[in-house]
């Protein structure tokens, strides 16, 4: 409270007025304090909500990161388990192939030794070891070629031929000496051992080269054939629909070199493939449409005009005529109030009036008639019309 408030006689007011002003100032101060306190509380609540929202967002991000880490950990664990299972399966398959090969050697090699045994030519006992050993030596060469990334098919082919020779000898000797069953068994043992090991090496080759499974390749070929059939149907429809555009598209495709290789099947694969077929792409066909019709595929000048006419008819049906007569905002005022500042109206006021013309605008020379029940002019409107008439007279 100021000194002036305590001594109102010095400020030109009464003591009661000073007390009233002091109380008003105190009330204003209290109101501002309450308002500031409310603003502070609201700001604290807003800050608290912002902190809670930020904390919630941070927690959600942490949860998402933890979930992503968990998924990555599960994926790595599953990949490690799959790799371990694959390694275990490969090791088991390798052991089984070696065991089968060893058993086959135990059966086929003694049978060949008995076939080549001759007391007078004892040195021929080494022939079975040569026949069986050459096949396994070639398979070892194929394994080395696979490890070094070299072609291995010739090693494997030589091993197969050598195994067939040994199988023939076992079949002939076993059938003659011990019966058909022994001959067939010895022949199979001579072939099965190298063949099982060759299958093992074939799997290693496929894994090294990243070959896709046969089922996947068949599915891809079926998908490719279906896509080619779809493209052929689309191209046939385009050629039948618009010959000019299709001919231009073929010319552009030939210029751009857009061709499809011919298919090979049966004897055609031996005699050579079919000639490449020119097939326009989507961009080429679109360019041909633009060059012929000036519009994108499926549109022509007639089609666009028809579409615009149909849209206009719909708009007229919904909203009325688009180009209807322009109605004045204030027809009564325009017909009874002269246009001040209009050069044409000024010239007409100066010129003598012709019969049927009273100087008013757009009324055909006939002033409006007031009918019973018409709302009367407001006094302000009458005054404004009088002023306009006076200015016209001046």
Dihedral sign for Cα atoms in the order 259, 260, 261, 267: negative
Of 358, 305, 372, 362, give the one whose Cα is nearest residue 328.
362
Q: pLDDT tens per residue, the chain (394 residues)?
A: 444 444 444 444 577 777 888 888 888 888 888 888 888 888 888 888 888 888 888 888 888 888 888 888 888 888 888 888 888 887 888 888 888 888 888 888 888 888 887 788 778 778 888 877 888 888 888 878 877 878 878 888 888 888 888 888 888 888 888 888 888 888 888 888 888 877 877 777 777 666 667 777 888 888 888 888 888 888 888 888 888 889 888 888 888 888 876 554 433 343 444 567 888 888 988 998 999 988 888 888 888 999 999 999 998 888 865 555 454 445 454 555 554 444 444 444 444 455 444 555 555 556 666 666 666 666 777 777 777 777 766 5
Contact 163, 144 (CB under 8 A): no
* Strand partners for 278: 259
User: Which residues are CB-neighbours of 191 under 8 A, at least 6 positions away?
Assistant: 163, 164, 167
> How confident is the model at residue 33, as a pLDDT?
85
Distance, CA of 162 to CA of 139 (rounded, Å): 11
Alpha helices (H) along 210-242: 214-241
Question: Structure pTM?
Answer: 0.40
Q: What string of DSSP letters covers 64-130?
A: HHHHHHHHHHHHHHHHHHHHHHHHHHHHHHHHHHHHHHHHHHHHHHHHHHHHH--GGGGGGGGHHHH
């Amino acid at each position: 409270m100021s000194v002036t408030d305590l001594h109102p006689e010095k400020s030109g007011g009464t003591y009661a007025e000073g007390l009233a002003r002091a109380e008003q100032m105190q009330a204003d101060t209290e109101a501002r304090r309450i308002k500031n306190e409310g603003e502070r509380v609201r700001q604290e609540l807003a800050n608290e909500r912002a902190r809670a929202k930020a904390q919630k967002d941070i927690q959600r991000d942490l949860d998402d990161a933890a979930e992503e880490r968990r998924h990555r950990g599960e994926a790595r664990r599953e990949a490690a388990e799959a790799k371990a299972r694959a390694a275990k399966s490969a090791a088991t398959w390798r052991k089984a192939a070696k065991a089968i090969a060893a058993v086959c050697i135990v059966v086929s090699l003694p049978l060949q030794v008995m076939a080549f045994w001759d007391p007078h030519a004892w040195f021929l006992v080494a022939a079975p070891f040569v026949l069986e050993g050459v096949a396994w030596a070639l398979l070892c060469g194929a394994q080395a070629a696979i490890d070094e990334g070299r072609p291995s098919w010739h090693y494997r082919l030589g091993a197969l031929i050598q195994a067939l020779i040994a199988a023939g000898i076992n079949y002939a000797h076993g059938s003659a000496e011990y019966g058909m069953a022994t001959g067939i068994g010895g022949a199979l043992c001579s072939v099965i051992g190298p063949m099982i090991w060759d299958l093992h090496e074939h799997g290693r080759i496929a894994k090294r080269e990243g070959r896709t499974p046969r089922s996947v390749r068949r599915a891809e070929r079926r998908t490719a054939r279906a896509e080619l059939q779809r493209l052929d149907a689309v191209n046939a429809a385009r050629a039948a629909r618009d010959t000019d555009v299709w001919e231009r598209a073929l010319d552009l495709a030939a210029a751009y070199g857009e061709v499809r290789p011919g298919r090979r099947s049966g004897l055609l694969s031996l005699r050579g493939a079919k000639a490449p077929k020119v097939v326009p792409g989507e961009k080429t066909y679109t360019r041909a449409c633009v060059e012929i019709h000036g519009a994108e595929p499926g549109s022509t000048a007639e089609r666009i005009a028809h579409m615009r006419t149909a849209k206009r008819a719909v708009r007229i049906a919904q909203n009325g005529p688009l180009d209807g007569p322009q109605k004045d905002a204030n027809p009564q005022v325009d017909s009874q109030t002269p246009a001040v500042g209009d050069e044409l109206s000024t010239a007409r006021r100066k010129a003598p009036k012709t019969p049927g013309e009273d100087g008013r605008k757009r009324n055909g020379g006939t002033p409006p008639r007031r009918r019973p029940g018409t709302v009367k002019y407001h006094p302000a409107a009458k005054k404004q019309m009088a002023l306009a008439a006076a200015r016209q007279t001046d």
